[in-house]
Structure 1
């Protein structure tokens, strides 16, 4: 199963969600590969900050041939998480064509909701060639107890893409974990952050069945 995380708008917490989803899957015993196709290499930076044995391998592949190479690269893994580029490019198109499911992280902001239009159009274009391609929004970096945090799912309903009921709240533990090259599960497996990541992972598993 290949899961691409894409949004053409930067700063939505795409890498944070990618590494922590990969960690949540790895904790189930699954063989997981994180593919960093973002030229900025944020997931690679996360891996480089880690001391000790990695939870899963992180491979950089920032080129527009991802969809052609992924079968060979990912043949030994149960799940491949693709941390996609922050702009609509040939690289983004390749990442979409390589994926079975596209997860679109969106912050609860009008700008993010408007900006989602471009990646939705890309996914719709790819659907002509990949009939079984699935996609969903996940609200990320939500500010707790704010009106816009509650209203964002309704705002996203204007798109044909479904919105996950589970969401991720912005929390300091994500930054603390990233600085150490760790997942939030390793910092505190019972933290609200870890439980939210697991909830997204569980919804993801149900979505792709």
Structure 2
């Protein structure tokens, strides 16, 4: 079983959106996946409440139950667990980071986000776990994202994921209906970005990318469901 933690001490960076999309992408590709919502706001769990599809499984769990939850997930055959953590909660973030095989730190390429990343970087650096910043809400044009990537590496010593998520309407609209961008707009750019990110993440945690891609070609994507 592999575990991926989404961690940021700043709110509003797209952490839950990324957690939902990755968990669903891996589940769709054939890997039994559990999304663990450790945020008291339970945004991922509320998304699941609006969702028609049974999977991926989503559990809202108090941070104190994380260890037991991971043990149970492994016993029940989970291949991947995605941890969605709360901002401004160092204890929860550290527990999730310690349990993770890979840590992703979503960050928008803005000066406010870069300043706020200092706390997250200081929290994670000493753990020596594979950690990557993931640039989110990236504008289609301009060099701001390139500059942000350089700043993250230079100032915080944190590697940056080579794949970026753009400013896509689909990322927000899909959540209203309990969907992901891949289900809401299968041929859209947001869906393509998530597919690419999933393949990159699978390589980082030692999952078979070729097997996932092969499974993806056999999966029937649900038809688009319009939000009420």
**TM-score, length-normalised on structure 1?**
0.91
Q: Residues 106 and 137 of structure 1 are in contact (CA less than 8 Å); yes or no, is this contact kept in structure 2?
A: yes
Give the count of matched residue pairs.
203
Q: Does 1:12 align with 2:8?
A: no
Q: Residues 34 and 73 of structure 2 are in contact (CA less than 8 Å); yes or no, is this contact kept in structure 1?
A: no
> Which residue pairs with 1:130 in the alignment?
none
> Which residue pairs with 2:99 in the alignment?
98
Q: Residues 33 and 74 of structure 1 are in contact (CA less than 8 Å); yes or no, is this contact kept in structure 2?
A: no
Paired residues for 1:14-163 under 5 Å: 14-50=15-51, 52-67=52-67, 69-75=69-75, 76-127=77-128, 133-158=129-154, 159-163=156-160
Secondary structure, counterpart of 1:181 in structure 2: coil
Using the alignment, how far apart are the partners of 1:64 and 1:144 within structure 2? Answer: 41
The one of 155, 160, 171 aligned to 1:174:
171
Structural RMSD (CA): 1.5
5+ long unaligned stretches in structure 1: 128-132
Higher Cα radius of gyration: 2
Higher share in helix: 2
Using the alignment, how far apart are the partners of 1:54 and 1:148 within structure 2? Answer: 39
Deviation of 1:68 (Å): 5.1
The one of 149, 161, 166 aligned to 1:164:
161
In the TM superposition, structure 1's runs of 4+ consecutive aligned residues that sit over 4 Å from their partners are none
Using the alignment, how far apart are the partners of 1:67 and 1:194 within structure 2? Answer: 32
**TM-score, length-normalised on structure 2?**
0.83
